[in-house]
């Protein structure tokens, strides 16, 4: 009998998601406001990404309430797949 083969291929190309609201519990982005220099946070467990495309840069906006400034930030959400089962393991 032939042994089953599993191959994991790195996919650096953009991968589209059909998830309307992609929450990332515990994840956030923090930048310093360009005007007041205070840290401003984008909490991705409260504000989801809409139909994210993995492995491709995109722009999100972080708002500083103190200065009334909307700051664009460029992000990338990488998706990876890793083989954790070895030969003979379930």
| Tens-digit pLDDT profile for residues 36-80 | 999 999 999 999 999 999 999 999 999 999 999 999 999 999 888
Domain ranges in the chain are 21-76
pTM of the prediction?
0.72
Answer with the residue of higher pLDDT: 68 or 2: 68
What confidence category does residue 24 fall into, taking pLDDT thresholds of 50, 70 and 90? very high
Closest CA to 11 of 77, 81, 83, 85: 81
């Amino acid at each position: 009998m032939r042994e089953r083969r599993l191959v994991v291929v790195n996919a650096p190309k953009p991968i589209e998601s059909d998830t309307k609201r992609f929450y990332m519990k515990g994840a956030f982005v923090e930048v310093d406001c360009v005007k007041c220099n205070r840290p401003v946070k984008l909490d991705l467990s409260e504000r989801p990404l809409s139909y994210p495309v993995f492995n491709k840069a995109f722009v999100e906006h972080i708002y500083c309430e103190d200065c009334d400034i909307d700051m664009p930030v460029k992000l990338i959400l990488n998706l990876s797949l890793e083989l954790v089962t070895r030969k003979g393991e379930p």
